[in-house]
């Protein structure tokens, strides 16, 4: 189980934000963000709510009360009405949630017309296979 500071730092870095940039969005000082991240101070309830909204996560997730996998499984179950989710799907969701640039790229890919999307998907699969063979 991770703590709030580790989770907060990871979420901030995924978005490539500095502590100063996050502080500005929350209307708090940079030193306050630093204290939250190093665990010497916990955010007040209002700041916790703002963090949850800003990063689109639950308070339980932010505070480390749920593992990331359980959180992902709950979200997928809520969206699709099934708890029968393959591990690779959970791993892919976890990857996308923690890699902002890739999640934006996948979203853009999903919006492409079918023919273009299938072409790009084929290229991606080929690149990944070739990279896997090199390792």
Instruction: Tell me the pLDDT tens digit for each residue of 85-117.
Output: 566 676 777 777 777 788 888 888 988 999 999
Domain containing residue 43: 4-63
Residues 36 and 81 grouped into a single domain: no
Residues 72 and 129 grouped into a single domain: yes
Residue of higher predicted confidence among 79 and 115:
115
Indicate if the alpha-carbon torsion angle 86, 54, 59, 23 is positive or negative. positive
Q: How many domains does the chain have?
A: 2
Domain boundary among 38, 63, 88: 63
Residues 9 and 58 grouped into a single domain: yes
Residues 81 and 107 grouped into a single domain: yes
Q: Which of 62, 53, 87, 59 is nearest to 73 (CA)?
A: 87
Domain boundary among 32, 63, 94: 63
For residue 51, what pLDDT is reported?
94
Residues 75 and 95 grouped into a single domain: yes
Residue of higher predicted confidence among 118 and 2:
118
Residues 115 and 128 grouped into a single domain: yes
Cβ contact 29:75 at 8 Å? no
Q: How far is CA 59 from the centre of its chain?
A: 14
Supply 102's token pair: 């890739």
Give the DSSP letter string of 67-105: -HHHHHHHHHHHHHS-S---HHHHHHHHHHHH-HHHHHH
For residue 121, what pLDDT is reported?
93
Domain boundary among 20, 45, 63: 63
pLDDT tens-digit readout, 16-58: 999 999 999 999 999 999 999 998 999 988 999 999 999 888 7
Q: Which of 26, 79, 92, 29 is nearest to 53 (CA)?
A: 26
For residue 120, what pLDDT is reported?
94
User: Where do we find the tokens 């703002």?
Assistant: 50
**pLDDT at residue 129 is higher than 70:** yes
Which distant-in-sequence residues (6+ apart) come within 8 Å of 11 by Cβ? 55, 57, 62
Residues 76 and 129 grouped into a single domain: yes
Model confidence at 4, pLDDT cuts 50, 70, 90, reads confident
Residues 59 and 72 grouped into a single domain: no
Residues 89 and 34 grouped into a single domain: no
């Amino acid at each position: 189980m991770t703590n709030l500071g580790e989770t907060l730092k990871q979420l901030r870095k995924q978005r490539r934000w500095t502590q100063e940039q996050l502080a500005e969005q929350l209307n708090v000082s940079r030193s306050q963000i630093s204290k939250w991240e190093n665990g010497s101070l916990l955010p007040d309830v209002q700041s916790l709510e703002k963090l949850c909204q800003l990063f689109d996560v639950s308070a339980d997730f932010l505070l480390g009360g749920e593992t990331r996998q359980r959180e992902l499984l709950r979200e997928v179950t809520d969206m699709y009405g099934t708890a029968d989710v393959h591990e690779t799907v959970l791993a892919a969701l976890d990857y996308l949630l923690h890699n902002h640039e890739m999640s934006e790229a996948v979203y853009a890919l999903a919006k492409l017309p079918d023919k273009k999307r299938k072409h790009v998907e084929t290229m991606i699969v080929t690149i990944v296979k070739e990279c896997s063979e090199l390792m």
